[in-house]
Amino acid sequence: MKRTLVGVAFFAALLLIWQAATASGRWSPVLLPSPWLVAEYLWDALRDGSLLEATAVTMKRLLVGYFIGVAIGLPLGLITSTSRYFEDTIGALALGLQTLPSVCWVPLALLWFGQTEMAMLFVVVMGTVWSVVIATSAGARNIPPIYARAARTMGSEGFDKWTRVILPAALPYVVSGMKQGWAFAWRSLMAAEIFVTILTGFGLGQVLQYGRELSSMDQVIGVMLVIVLIGLIADKVLFSPWERFLHRRWGTGFK
């Protein structure tokens, strides 16, 4: 309760400072619209449905691409962990491609797939997959060998061993890899949406870019706020439960 109050007070103070800055008249309202103008834009865009629609388009791209990325990355990471040769090949490839900022996939995706949903999907998958591969493989290699030995004596072999012992034992690594993959995917999707217009759906990045073209700062800031909000909600919904699970079971973290 106290924490909620502190949080509310903090953001109220930020809004007040913002409001005071616009009211001072030192900056042109074209460059720095007041919180009310931004709120008004958000309200209108919500009511005419354009904002929700853009959010839906973006979230669909992100979620589908992300889950494909994780579905590829987990098994690939596990395979990578099984031998030094995979480590030197797939592992090295993953490491290289992960250091490549995922925006850099956009030009290639456009040439390969044209201005299509496929291109967007590809960028998101590439943003996700390498982080997941690296984290999963590192996690699987760092499991205390005693877990695998105990599991073997109790009759856990093959697929059962991978899904019921190695993957759960590697979970602390896997979750942080998935979180990083999500962050990369989210950033690269925004870049891609700002960069290219795709006629089958206008995402948040495109709405942001229109705001710039129309010089309507209230739209730019409004959409930015929405993007921040989505990031926060995703963190709470997708990752907080996992992190709580890890803290409770592994006994890590403070408190």
Partner 1 sequence: MSATGFGPQSAPQSTSPAKLVVDGVSKWFRTPRADVQALDNINLRVEDGEFICLVGPSGCGKTTLLDIIAGLTPADQGRVLDDDKPVDGPGRHRLVMFQEPALFPWLDVFGNVMFGLKRTPGLTDKQRREIADQHLQLVGLEKFKHAFVHELSGGMKQRIALARALAPDPHVLLMDEPFAALDAITREQLYGDLQEIWRSRKKTIILVTHDVREAACLGDRVFLLSPSPGRIREEFKIPLARPRDINSPELAAIVQRMTLALRNHLGPRKEAAE
Please report, as ranges, the residues that interact with partner 1 according to CB under 8 A.
144, 146-147, 149-156, 160, 165, 168-169, 171, 248-251
Closest approach, Cβ 81 to partner 1, in A, equals 17
Distance separating alpha carbons of residues 39 and 204, to the nearest angstrom: 17
- In this structure, is the dihedral angle defined by the CA atoms of residues 57, 112, 68 and 139, taken in order, positive or negative? negative
Q: Identify which of residues 38 and 165 has a Cβ nearer to partner 1 in the complex.
A: 165
Strand spans (E) along 156-216 = none
The distance of closest approach from Cβ of residue 181 to partner 1 in the complex, given in angstroms and rounded to an integer, is 21
Residue 133 CA to residue 135 CA, distance in Å, equals: 6
Minimum separation from the CB atom of position 172 to partner 1 (A): 9
Buried b / exposed e along 146-177 (16+ C-beta atoms within 10 A): ebeeebeeeebeeeebbeebbbebbbbbbbbb
Cβ nearer to partner 1, comparing 47 with 149: 149
Question: Given the complex with partner 1, which of 25 and 145 has the nearer CB atom?
Answer: 145
CB of 164 to partner 1, least distance (A): 8
CA dist 137 → 39, 170, 247 (Å): 45, 9, 21
User: Which lies closer to partner 1 via its Cβ, residue 47 or residue 152?
Assistant: 152
What DSSP designation does 239 have? I
Q: Residue 247 Cβ, how far from partner 1 at the closest point, in Å? A: 10
